[in-house]
Structure 1
């Protein structure tokens, strides 16, 4: 329910009244008792949400939230991939670097 501003044209008494929008404007001044009360046109007020839980993302579509979750999951996967070191020797040498070289036994030559 809005708050309306009133002023009396007779005694210049000004006050605010909390009324329903469908209520008729007041006519009688509470100070002087004359029927010279006039409702003023106000600028109005913006809607103010107080308390926790009022975020711009609360009222978005389901598709938006699914897209955001998919984007976050992709970012996490990229970070994991970047964090694990890639060894080029394993892929290019096909495992040769992992195995120690076999030592050849020297056989005595017959003379």
Structure 2
């Protein structure tokens, strides 16, 4: 069962109450009966940074096939020329 934050409307005290997701929000504290109101809270995880979704969820097949074959043909002559020039 999830935990929700409720605020006492009179004193401002905040409570953590467990209830089913299907239940309606409490209007009164279940034990004391004081009037309460549900408080929306930020999630505990935050994804920050530019391009998080674009960089981490795309398939790499297209970029490796397109860029990989071009990169290999460019790097192969450089390796051969370095090997030939040194020896």
TM-score (norm 2): 0.54
The question of whether the paired residues in 2 share the 8 Å contact of 1:10 and 1:34 is answered with no
Inter-CA distance 27–43: structure 2 relative to 1 (3 Å threshold): closer
TM-score (norm 1): 0.46
In terms of mean alpha carbon deviation, does 76-85 or 21-30 score higher? 21-30
Instruction: Identify the structure with the greater helix proportion.
Output: 2
Structure possessing the higher relative contact order (Cα contacts under 8 Å, 6 or more residues apart): 2
TM-aligned CA deviation for residue 14 of structure 1: 1.2
TM-aligned CA deviation for residue 6 of structure 1: 0.5
Q: CA RMSD in A?
A: 3.6
Give me the whole-angstrom Cα distance separating, in 2, the residues matched to 1:46 and 1:72.
39
Name the count of aligned residue pairs: 77
| Structure 2 gaps, min length 5 | 48-52
Which of 1 and 2 has greater Rg?
1
| Structure 1 gaps, min length 5 | 50-54, 88-111
The question of whether the paired residues in 1 share the 8 Å contact of 2:5 and 2:41 is answered with no
> Paired residue for 1:82?
78
TM-aligned CA deviation for residue 24 of structure 1: 0.9
TM-aligned CA deviation for residue 13 of structure 1: 3.1
TM-aligned CA deviation for residue 15 of structure 1: 1.5
Give me the whole-angstrom Cα distance separating, in 2, the residues matched to 1:74 and 1:27.
65
In terms of mean alpha carbon deviation, does 70-79 or 13-22 score higher? 13-22
